[in-house]
């Protein structure tokens, strides 16, 4: 006759064990978490790189080149406008929006959870750099001069990036062309809006939106490209106007991003 194992004592044992682990983790006292992460994240990275192969094979090289060229031109335009503004204000010290390279930490993308990979838009990104590489929560993540997101959560050897299209993302920004200030908010599914722009300011479709580098966002430098305006929503009866935005970078296709460390 088969011996039956009593379930209840075991159930209570694992419940208490889980509570203990949770308590230790809450107080940063859990040992071995980093070791497990070290073992697991490379496997995840390998699986992610393998899964990307079919999508990379189907990419038109000409389209890819044009997209890169377009991004480069937009970056140059932003830099040129900035130089013009600087000259106009008679600044005696040259300032540039380019980020010093010694502050850029290259990070490999190891995961991009979305509902249908490659088709639906992701709202978070996993990268292979963590606290052991001086990555901290709140640091901006860029690709060239475009803002991709902000470090949301960090473990020893990996970090979770909150992408700019994530519903929880928001930051102050301004248009490059008219310097109209507003707040960029992610609305999910690869979309974001520029909100809280006063009616007296001018917004045009195609305008580039850049970071403002406000004091409350000290980690985010001024002049990073957030995206471009694709549609303006202006209602004369409302206090503010808004605009739908689009990122200039195809985040799903990135295999490497850069974290701005300090």
Partner 1 sequence: MEWLIFSLITLLSLFISTGFVAAPLTIGCILAMLVLFKKSHVLLLAFILGILTDILAFHTVGLTSLFFLGLLGAVFLYERKFEIRTFQFVIVFSFLASMLYSFLFHMPHILLGSIATALWASGIFFVLAVLDSHLPQKKRI
Q: Contact positions toward partner 1, by CB under 8 A?
A: 5-7, 10-11, 14-15, 17-26, 30, 33, 36-37, 40-41, 43-44, 47-48, 51, 110-117, 120, 123, 126, 152-153, 155, 158, 160, 167, 188
Which is closer to partner 1, CB of 12 or CB of 238?
12
Whole-number Cα distances in Å, 92 to 89, 135, 213: 9, 34, 20
Which is closer to partner 1, CB of 85 or CB of 250?
250
Which is closer to partner 1, CB of 181 or CB of 188?
188
DSSP H or E segment with residue 103: none
Q: Which residues on adjacent β-strands are paired with residue 259?
A: 105, 141
Q: How far is the CB of 229 from partner 1 (least distance, A)?
A: 24
DSSP state of 93: S
Which is closer to partner 1, CB of 30 or CB of 105?
30
d(CA 51, CA 113): 12
For residue 71, which of 247, 204, 223, 231 has the smallest C-alpha distance? Answer: 247
Which is closer to partner 1, CB of 86 or CB of 124?
124
d(CA 174, CA 184): 9
Q: How far is the CB of 90 from partner 1 (least distance, A)?
A: 47
Q: How far is the CB of 43 from partner 1 (least distance, A)?
A: 7
Q: How far is the CB of 247 from partner 1 (least distance, A)?
A: 17
Q: How many CA atoms lie within 13 A of 130 on its CB side?
A: 16
Q: How far is the CB of 213 from partner 1 (least distance, A)?
A: 27
Q: How far is the CB of 22 from partner 1 (least distance, A)?
A: 3
Question: Per the structure block, which two tokens stand in for 243?
Answer: 């605009």
Q: Which long-range contacts (CB under 8 A, 24 or more apart) does 47-50 make?
A: 48/109, 48/110, 48/111, 48/112, 49/255
Which is closer to partner 1, CB of 23 or CB of 106?
23
Q: Give the residue carrying structure tokens 């490059």.
A: 176
Question: Per the structure block, which two tokens stand in for 60?
Answer: 């038109």
């Amino acid at each position: 006759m088969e011996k039956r194992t009593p379930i209840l004592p075991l159930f209570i044992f694992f419940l208490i064990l889980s509570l203990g682990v949770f308590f230790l983790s809450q107080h940063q006292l859990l040992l071995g978490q980093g070791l497990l992460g070290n073992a697991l994240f490379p496997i995840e990275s390998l699986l992610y790189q393998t899964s990307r192969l079919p999508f990379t094979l189907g990419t038109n090289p000409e389209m890819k080149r044009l997209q890169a060229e377009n991004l480069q031109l937009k970056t140059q335009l932003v830099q040129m406008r900035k130089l013009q503004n600087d000259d106009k204000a008679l600044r005696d010290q040259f300032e540039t929006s380019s980020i010093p390279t010694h502050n850029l930490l290259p990070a490999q993308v190891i995961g991009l959870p979305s509902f249908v990979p490659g088709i639906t838009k992701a709202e978070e990104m996993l990268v292979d750099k963590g606290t052991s590489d001086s990555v901290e929560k709140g640091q901006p993540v860029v690709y060239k001069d475009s803002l991709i997101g902000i470090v949301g959560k960090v473990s020893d050897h990996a970090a979770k990036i909150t992408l700019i299209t994530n519903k929880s993302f928001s930051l102050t920004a301004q248009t490059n062309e008219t310097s109209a200030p507003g707040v960029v908010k992610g609305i999910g599914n690869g979309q974001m809006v520029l909100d809280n722009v006063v009616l007296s300011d001018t917004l045009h479709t195609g305008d580039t939106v850049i970071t403002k580098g406000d004091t409350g966002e000290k980690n985010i430098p001024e002049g990073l490209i957030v995206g471009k305006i694709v549609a303006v929503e202006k209602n004369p009866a409302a206090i503010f106007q808004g605009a739908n935005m689009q990122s200039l970078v195809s985040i799903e296709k990135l295999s490497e991003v850069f974290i701005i460390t300090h």
